[in-house]
Amino acid sequence: MEEEVKRLQERFQKGEKMAAVGLIEAGLVSGKFGTDFEREEEVMTAKLGFKKLTLEEMVPDTLAGL
């Protein structure tokens, strides 16, 4: 799996944007990356002073805006 990810990364860096699909799939299947953004990256919500919303709070407002 890791070799395939490296190949896909190289293809993506060379401009083959569809390689991103394979990278996303590999991340989701392996569970090694791309499945928990808050665990993997710094989320700026609190630093910017925004309230962290739950899915139940966010969906009605989002749907109302459609």
What is the per-residue pLDDT across 24-40, written as a single tens digit (0 to 9) for each?
A: 888 888 777 666 777 76
What is the per-residue pLDDT across 49-60, written as a single tens digit (0 to 9) for each?
A: 998 889 999 999
Domain ranges of the chain: 2-64
What pLDDT score was predicted for residue 40? 67
Residue 4 near residue 26 (C-beta atoms within 8 A): yes
Dihedrals φ, ψ of 32, to 5°? -80, -30
The mean pLDDT of the chain is: 87
Conformation bin of residue 15: beta by default, left when phi > 0, alpha when psi is -120 to 50: left
The pair of structure tokens assigned to 66 is 């459609």
Which pTM value belongs to this model? 0.48
